[in-house]
Amino acid sequence: MSHMRLALSLAGRALGSVSPNPAVGAVVVKDGEVIGRGWTRPPGREHAEVVALRQVGRRAAGASLYTTLEPCNHFGRTKPCTEAVIAAGIEEVYAAIRDPNPNVTGGGLERLAEAGVHVRVGDQAEAAGRMIEAYLKHSTTGMPFVTAKFAASLDGKIATRAGDSKWITADRARRETHRLRATSDAIMAGVNTVLVDDPLLTARDRKGNANERQPLRVIVDSRGRTPPKARLLSEPGHTLIAVAQADSAAADKLTDVGAEVVEVPGDDGSVDLEGMLRRLGAKGICGVMVEGGGALLGSLFDLGLVDKVVAFVAPTIIGGQGAPSPVGGLGVERLSDAVRLDRLRVARFGPDVCIIGYC
């Protein structure tokens, strides 16, 4: 494994626990030997480069540092990583990608170069960018990175005409869904999904136990129909219910069971989805995974708010004109206007296929 690939694998250990900071991995190499390893700690604690440098102490002098993201050069809750790199006597820094955050934007590498450190950029850039794609969008736009995730049969159905949807995909695909949830800042669903399926919307381990850290659950519920007894409201973590207009009695009942109810009115009496996402971004939510239903996904696609699609396809034929599909909304009239994904990847999870692409 190359040194940068090792740094990327270390960065993966930070996913799901460091947002709104990026998940970064760092490796210190001297005379061809890896002598230090680090990954980003939770907000307010050390960045990956500092963790790796502290492991090696004085041995860092004359060594090379491989990091998946340009070292920061500003004071936040921690001191600049560039100063730690310079003080340690690092001779070369290899960064996979530059940091587009306005607080960094090349300043980290420039600072290192000014101090006589040799800098190189670009190794494993695509993989590094994919690792922190939510951070990259949020840090430059203030908006969360939106992933549309769904599971469908081979003929494009998410349930039977009678509404039975458990389970379209097999165990391995469902385990991957829990992994994706664990690395997201928020999970979003529409109120119809809550009313029909009564889901938990939690991230769970292989044994089915709820993870200690849970993403924020966001329910898009224009008229405030979420039942106070919905199972997700008694699960670990926090739930935000976005309404177009809050009925005070209904809102009080939801607040009494621990939910946060916020009004985000749109022009047509429904929730302003773009406004809601902007509010989530302001709360430090970098990545949102949307799990349905078809009306919510359709509206997000109609508004051009989806960045990425993760579609699990099961080798099953359901049939039925009344069986629902994963994406509703208005859709398009001409195929030339259809959303076409690029940067496609295909993975297998047991009998199921997962298609991943970007809008």
Instruction: Tell me the two tokens of residue 321.
Output: 């004109």
Contact (CB, 8 A) for 94 and 66: yes
Instruction: Tell me the two tokens of residue 125.
Output: 């850039």
Q: Which of 49, 70, 176, 291 is catalytic?
A: 49
Q: Where are the alpha helices (DSSP H) in the chain?
A: 3-12, 48-56, 81-88, 107-114, 125-131, 133-141, 171-182, 191-197, 248-256, 273-282, 294-302
Measured distance CA(294)–CA(292) in Å, rounded: 6
The contacts found for 210-214 with CB under 8 angstroms, 24 or more apart, are: 210/235, 210/236, 211/182, 212/236, 213/16, 213/17, 213/182, 214/238
Contact (CB, 8 A) for 354 and 176: yes
Active site residue 49: yes
Measured distance CA(175)–CA(244) in Å, rounded: 34
**Given 3-state DSSP classes, what are the helix, strand and coil percentages for the chain, each rounded to the nearest 5?**
30, 25, 45
Choose among 44, 55, 93, 45: nearest CA to 71.
Answer: 93
Instruction: Tell me the two tokens of residue 177.
Output: 């869904």
Residue 29: phi and psi, rounded to 5, are -125, 135
Burial category of 207 from C-beta neighbours within 10 Å (exposed 0-12, middle 13-18, buried 19 and up): exposed
Active site residues: 49
